[in-house]
Amino acid sequence: MNAPTARDPGGRQPAWAGYTAAVLAVVFGLFSFYWAAGGTFGLDTLGAAIQRMAERRDSGFIAVVWITGALKVAGGLFSLSLVRPWGRVVPRPLMLLAGWGGAALLTVYGALQVGSLSLVASGVLTPSDPVEWKPLLWRLFVWDMSFLVWGILLFLATRTYVMNHPRRPERRGGN
pLDDT digits over 1-39, tens only?
A: 444 443 444 556 789 999 999 999 999 999 999 999 999
Instruction: Tell me how far the alpha carbon of residue 144 is from its chain's centroid.
Output: 10
Question: Is the distance from CB of 33 to CB of 41 less than 8 angstroms?
Answer: no
Look up the pTM and report it.
0.85
C-alpha to C-alpha distance for 161 and 175, rounded to whole angstroms: 28
DSSP string, 105-166: HHHHHHHHHHHHHHHHHTTSS--SSPP-HHHHHHIIIIIHHHHHHHHHHHHHHHHHHHHHSP
pLDDT digits over 120-156, tens only?
A: 999 999 999 999 999 999 999 999 999 999 999 999 9
pLDDT digits over 155-171, tens only?
A: 999 999 999 888 765 55
